[in-house]
Amino acid sequence: MTPDFPRLFIPARRKPLRIGLVNNMPDAALRATERQFAELIAKAARLLGAGFPTLTLSLFHISEIPRNPEIAVELAATSADVSTLADASLDALVVTGGEALLPDMRAEPHWAKMAALIDVTVAHDLPVLWSCRAAHAAVLHLDGIERVRLPEKLSGIFQTDMIANAPVLRHLAGNPVSPQSRYHGLDADELLAKDYTILTQSAVVGPDWFTRRASPHMLFVQGHPEYNAEALALEYRRDVRRFLNG
């Protein structure tokens, strides 16, 4: 039997759904992140079952993010610059996290392009998953909510509690487990004051999944929903190497 998913996820049409992926991850994690999200999207299509339209994945990048020259050339050949996204006829979008370059995101070389992307998604009422640092950028640009530096890096897999109802939570079996890898967090009271709804949280993680009343098709996630079993271990080894190298 096909699950009774919300209408948001089962359009009344049969043409392929086009999902966009804006990949902001650093060079070493770029292809792994692309593969992880592609696998999750494909799995979601299988779970929806017969009658669900075919999914296609369209890749985008922000060319202003500093890259190894070889990676930059590869990206230009395999994905489109995010400035073309408004004309891409997407049905939904995923925007990944990325590596912090400066304490203030608004001073980073790609901030103008990121802010323009956020504006495009609002103007087109596009369903978006903002993951990790992309969620921080989105709430900063939309509502001036500043991220807060944590006493130490939050890294690991944590149990969170569902504290609100939303269609995106309907088919979760129990409270979600959330992979986290970040130096910053968001204040729950400030999110609530700016009319966000917190869906999942924990004492350690803080607010994890949340939505914005003014943009109901957006889902913000402070963690990394795409991470597989190896991703956190690879990040931990990277951090250790950086510490040893000063």
Query: Exposed/middle/buried for 53, CB within 10 Å: 0-12, 13-18, 19+?
Result: middle
d(CA 78, CA 74): 6
CA atoms within 13 A on the CB side of 110: 23
In the residue annotation, 132 being an active-site residue is answered as yes
Q: Answer for the pair 192, 180: CB distance below 8 angstroms, yes or no.
A: no
Q: Which among 34, 61, 110, 132 is annotated as catalytic?
A: 132
Alpha helices in the chain (DSSP H): 27-48, 69-78, 111-123, 133-143, 188-193, 231-244
In the residue annotation, 99 being an active-site residue is answered as no
Q: Which among 34, 108, 226, 235 is annotated as catalytic?
A: 226
Mind giving me the DSSP string for 143-169? H-PPPEEEEEEEEEEEE-EE-S--GGG
Distance set, CA 97 to CA 48, 91, 174, 221 (Å): 26, 20, 26, 10
204: nearest Cα among 165, 175, 161, 162: 161
Q: Which among 136, 141, 184, 224 is annotated as catalytic?
A: 224
Buried-state track 178-217, b at ≥16 Cβ within 10 A, e below 16: bbbbbebbbeeebbeeeebbbbbbbeebbbbbbbbeebee
In the residue annotation, 190 being an active-site residue is answered as no
Mind giving me the DSSP string for 15-47? SPEEEEEE----HHHHHHHHHHHHHHHHHHHHH
Q: Would you please indicate which residues are annotated as catalytic (active-site) residues?
A: 132, 224, 226
